[in-house]
Amino acid sequence: MIIRTISRKILLLVIVDLLVVVGSLFLSSIVCFGLRTGMIYVTSCGVMLCMFAAIYVFSFYMAGLYDFRSNLRSENYLFAILCASFAAFVTIILCYRPDVDLTYHRWVLLINSLLTTLFLLLWRYLYSHLVSTPSFQKRAIIVGAGLAGRTIYTKIKNSKGYGLKIVGFADDDEAKIGEFIDGLPIFKCRNNLLNIVKKKNVAQIVFAITQEKHPDLLKELIKCSQEKVVITDMLTLFEDLTGMIPFNHIDNFWRLCGLSMQSRFYAKNIKRGFDILFALILFVFCLPVILVICILIKNGSKGDIFFTQERVGRNGNTFKIIKFRSMIQNAEENTGAVFAGDNDVRITGIGRFLRKWRLDEIPQLLNVIKGDMSLVGPRPERRVFIDEYEEIIPFYIERLLAPPGITGWAQVRSPYASSIEHTEEKLQYDLYYIKNMSFLLDIVVLLQTIKVILFGKGK
């Protein structure tokens, strides 16, 4: 969603949304004051215009309107547009100073909100049709009809807004040739790929063969490339579609090349300063909330307000993590180290609320300031679980390449890990973050975290 192809699609949506907001403000001003006075009104309110645009785009983002994997024609999507527009309208009203008389502005604001909502609905409806037309979709073929090929096909099929239309598969396995996958034929691959590309008018090849590649197949790929056909490997496309790295389809060579983030300028020179600055600001801002939570925890159950526990950080270094206590005192005294389930009886009443809204993580700002953690990164785990997961989950130890975070790409994309399956899913997100770590990705994670907190999507 962040890098490469998808960012261009999101940029298009953002630009048009901005044009819709600005155009609606011009029209509403003209409706209220006439052409001449309306133009003067708008041109004299440059700051207000920028504020309107920023608030609307932020509201659309929080409503998930920039997730290209959404069904653009569903009722839920239309409802999200209406809710986002209403939220933006209310936010704009609240942003006006108390001493400002809204009598002069109210009709402009109201008409602008209605026009923005109407034009946005029309624009997104038009966009949903455009992305489904042949001119906006690349015809593609998947080379490899095994597990990797089927996996990436499923992801492409579920991401209609991505712009790829799969017309078939190609494989060297004689037993598969002539068969069908979801109604799509499997063609002979070796010494025949270029013919398939020309016959099916293919513009892109998704390469999904993970075992050793035959020289004849590589020659065919070179010929296709010379014909201006885009060749994309399965892993790269999987990253774009899901924001994950499928550890079941990578090897040690990818590990060497893909996770070498130690020398990145942002990771070495900027991230730590960014963490300290924002952690200090957030800690001061949260002081009233911290005081209220302390009182609620103390009155809600017997025990300490804070909970500390040894966790493993970057490069295997251990530290004491601090959180608000959300379980009964000495919760693991009889059970030992176990997952916390959705209906875990050890979680207190106030603790359930804190976990739902992720408020139990606030004290970890002190860990960030101290240098044990970062604002954004893989969640720090306990040594007992790391030793267990390392034995059964490939590449799990690679999570320790990055500093652990209060929030992270895995945390905003997946709920609390309560099973091995959830842990494997989170690992794929963590590997993606480590490989693509950047200031932009950190900002996106922080914005997504705000969304999780506001809508109570934690557990």
pLDDT at 41 over 60: yes
Between 417 and 437, residue with greater pLDDT: 437
Percentage of residues of the chain with pLDDT beyond 70 = 87
CB-side neighbour CA atoms (13 Å) of 315: 2
Q: Which of 27-41, 98-112, 263-277, 380-394 is the least confident region?
A: 98-112
Are 310 and 285 contacting, i.e. CB atoms less than 8 angstroms apart? no
The pLDDT of residue 3 is 44
The pLDDT of residue 1 is 42
Average pLDDT over residues 358-378: 95
Query: What integer best gives the mean pLDDT of the chain?
Result: 85
Between 338 and 276, residue with greater pLDDT: 276
pLDDT at 198 over 70: yes
pLDDT at 2 over 50: no
Give the pair of three-digit tokens for residue 340.
């916390």
pLDDT at 429 over 80: yes
Strand order in the sheet with 180-181: 180-181, 184-188, 164-171, 138-143, 204-207, 230-233
The pLDDT of residue 214 is 78
The pLDDT of residue 337 is 63
Give the tens place of pLDDT for each residue, 100-147.
555 656 788 888 889 999 998 899 888 877 777 776 788 999 999 999
Side chain identity, residue 80: A
pLDDT at 318 over 60: yes
Are 48 and 17 contacting, i.e. CB atoms less than 8 angstroms apart? no
Average pLDDT over residues 37-58: 82
Give the pair of three-digit tokens for residue 364.
């970890």
The pLDDT of residue 99 is 53
Helix or strand (DSSP H, E) at 416: none
Give the tens place of pLDDT for each residue, 287-307.
999 999 999 999 988 899 999
The pLDDT of residue 148 is 93
The burial class, CB within 10 Å (0-12 / 13-18 / 19+), for 11 is exposed
pLDDT at 341 over 50: yes
The pLDDT of residue 277 is 95
The pLDDT of residue 373 is 97
Give 213-252 as a 3 state SS string. Answer: CCHHHHHHHHHHHHCCCEEEEHHHHHHHHHCCCCHHHCCH
pLDDT at 161 over 60: yes
Between 398 and 163, residue with greater pLDDT: 398
Between 259 and 233, residue with greater pLDDT: 233
Per CATH, the number for 134-242 is 3.40.50.720
Nearest CA among 295, 358, 355 for reference residue 331: 355
pLDDT at 276 over 80: yes
Domain-wise residue ranges, the chain: 4-130, 134-242, 265-330+342-454
Report the DSSP beta bridge partners of residue 308.
322
**Range list of H helices, 301-378:** 349-356, 364-370
This prediction has a pTM of 0.80
pLDDT at 60 over 60: yes
pLDDT at 62 over 60: yes
Q: pLDDT category, 227, cuts 50, 70, 90? A: very high
